[in-house]
A and B are shown apart, each in its own frame.
Chain A
Amino acid sequence: MMRHSENSVASEGVSGVGQLPETAEEQQPKKKKFRWKVDYYGILFIVPFFVVYAIFSLYPMIYSIALSLTDYEGFNRDIGLVGFVNFTWLATQPRFWQSLLNTVMIFCMNFVPQMLFALIFAAMFTGKTYKMRGKGAFKGIYYLPNILTATSVAVMFYTLFARPSGGLWQLLTHMGMSTDVNLYLMPWPSRIIIAFIQFWMWFGNSMITLSAGILGINPSVFEAAQLDGASQKDIFVHITLPLIKPIVVYSLVVSTLGGLQVFDIPYLFLSGGPALTDGRNATETVAVYIYKMAFTGDMRYNIASAASVYLFVICMIVSFVLFRITHSDELKEQKRMERRIAKRGGVA
């Protein structure tokens, strides 16, 4: 019965979305003589997209939201609406908050150094004074980790940091770490390794995106600055950085959304955390928490759905806020540039 109501909601949602123009078109023939306009092919062409989206994305979303309001657990056939009980229950769960905190911590430990390094390297690669050879090869090497399967990468680093056989573990002991240390039993080192894997995988991507942004800046801006006697440092701080800020913020939005949903690496690396009591779930991200809730143990679909609704709301708020910031920044930036150009008399 519940299913039926969802179905109708889903189909309504779709017709509201995709077929708005079509209803207008159906009314026309009654008044005027109906003529099939060639532009109606445009509507025909987007139908597959929206039909498939409605079935495989929109309906599951509504289904998830509906499940989060029920008591559907395990093999329970007798499902009833329970309202927001799951949400309030989740809000009192330290493990859920811990997973959220873990996600944020792992993301920050990965993103901040990643952007810093990416900026430094992008500056080096695009610098005019210190032109270097072999840029293509370096870029190729830096991007390589990004294309590899995340699960293989997780298992690879797992073997490399394992005590006592892992190569990187041995490297760390050569650099002064005690040989008694088992990194996988300690919360912070585990988190740092996961953040490092993320950094390792995404550094090249950020660096290439930022370099592309810098190369996309109109060269005459740099030339004008150079003619005015600006130093390389000044040019980077006062021209390059402000002009690529939109790209940095865009990367921030995309990476944040990706970072909030990170699953593969934490799941396969330690499947959520060191197995010790005090460090348990130290690397469990929200996505891992949702997966574990739904598909292991008691199969608590309702709790997992409620957690995914929370995650969705958080993602929406984050992207809304970040886009708000970029937008106002862009307007300010534009005005500032206009003023600069007006002062200089129309360069660029």
Chain B
Amino acid sequence: MSNDTNVMAPEALTESQIHKLAKKQVPLKKRVKHTAVTTVIYICCVLMAIVCLLPLWLLFVDATRATTQINQGMSLVPSRYLITNFNSLIEYDMPLVSAFFNSVLISFCSTALSLYFSTLTAYSFVAYRYKGQKVIWSIILILMMIPGQLSMIGFYKLVVDLGMYDTYWPLIIPAIAGPGAVFFFKQYFDANFSKEMVEAARIDGSSEFRTFNLVVLPTLAPALATNAIFGIVSSWNNYMGPLMLISSTEKYTFPMISQLIKTDRYSTDLGAMALAVFLTILPLLIVYACFSRFIIRGVAIGGGKE
């Protein structure tokens, strides 16, 4: 056991520490302690991973079992009723497919708008100098702190007055004015913006809009990608907006499916219900499987707080 640590240690430590270790000729007691602590750390991490994954796994297993099986007791092994459950879901007329495409439409459009106009707004704070700029910037910072609940009732009334009730416009257009995204891009600009490039483009006779669209936007690619993922996910997960503003079932968004699942019509067929919930999670699981590294890096630099 102690041999093991000896082999492990040089890999795991920095050079200066290796020298120190070699000098001290680490006593056996310390090495045993090191192994013990490492084991405890791994056990903690694995336990937490189980806490994070077990509910999802139980849900998936339930989705593959028949209702009678689910009532009999918990299981960690999938059964073979996945197809049966799926067929009964189709029988129930769950609007999964249309809701999926509705959500895709809303989240992609709103994110595209949000990205373009947030970068444009942030750009105006780094590329130009005008009177009152600092005041306007602090106003944007204050807007970030205002809770959305305050405007909820007024927003609903406004949408009804404008005749936009039960349409997607009120879910897409407000994305243009997202103070959080502006703040994110301003920070990115502060670290990466080169005024020389813009001035070179200006001397070459490029108009300001053209410069922004063709010269500045491409340099933002990494930040755009990070923000796009978070924008799409947060728009996808938005529940309160559609709940207030969408009334016809064929216009339901994906998160609203969950609310249908809880109604009596489905709640007797536990297997189909579990499958429906799992299906509402599935697209995000796939997205996460593809982009998890990217997403975690985004969270680490503070892009995930919205």
Contacts and interface: CB of A to CB of B under 8 A. Distances in A.
Interface of A: 17-18, 20-21, 24, 38-46, 48-50, 52-53, 55-57, 59-67, 117, 120-121, 124, 128-132, 136, 138-160, 164-165, 167-168, 170-171, 200, 203-205, 208-209, 211-212, 223, 226, 254, 257, 260-261, 263-264, 268, 286-287, 290-291, 294-295, 301, 304-305, 308-309, 311-312, 315-316, 319
Contacts of A295: 156, 244
Contact of B12 (A66, A131, A294): A131
Most buried by A among B13, B176, B284: B176
B55 A200 contact: yes
B136 A212 contact: no
24 contacts: A42-B130, A48-B177, A49-B182, A56-B174, A60-B154, A63-B154, A64-B153, A128-B17, A130-B37, A131-B12, A149-B254, A149-B280, A149-B284, A151-B258, A152-B280, A154-B258, A159-B277, A167-B61, A167-B62, A170-B73, A212-B301, A212-B302, A301-B153, A311-B149
A208 B302 CA distance: 10
A315 B145 contact: yes
A50 B140 CA distance: 10
Given A48-B120, A136-B293, A152-B255, A209 B273 contact: no
B128 A38 contact: yes
Given A38-B208, A155-B258, A260-B147, A45 B123 contact: yes
Contact of B288 (A39, A144, A152): A144
B195 interface: no
B37 to A, nearest CB: 6
Interface string B262-283: 1000000010011001001100
A209 B12 CA distance: 24
Contact of A53 (B41, B51, B120, B143): B143
Contact of B157 (A63, A153, A287): A63
Contacts of B158: 55-56, 59-60, 63
B270 A159 contact: yes
Nearest to B237: A149
B179 to A, nearest CB: 8
The 6 closest A-B pairs by CB, nearest first: A42-B128, A63-B154, A60-B154, A53-B177, A212-B300, A60-B151
Given A24-B131, A38-B208, A129-B34, 15 more contacts: A20-B131, A63-B153, A129-B13, A130-B37, A130-B41, A131-B13, A148-B281, A151-B280, A152-B255, A152-B277, A164-B71, A167-B58, A167-B62, A167-B74, A264-B255
B305 A254 contact: yes
Contacts of A63: 151, 153-154, 157-158
A59 B174 CA distance: 12
B299 interface: yes
Interface residues of B, number: 103
A308 B150 contact: yes
A208 B296 contact: yes
B154 A263 contact: no
Give the interface SS of chain B, mostly helix, strand, loop or mixed.
Answer: helix
Given A48-B120, A208-B300, A316-B145, A140 B292 contact: yes
A46 B124 contact: yes
A125 B143 CA distance: 35
Contacts of B228: none
Given A49-B117, A152-B280, A60 B237 contact: no
A108 to B, nearest CB: 19
A63 B158 CA distance: 8
B53 A141 contact: yes
Contact of B52 (A144, A257, A311): A144
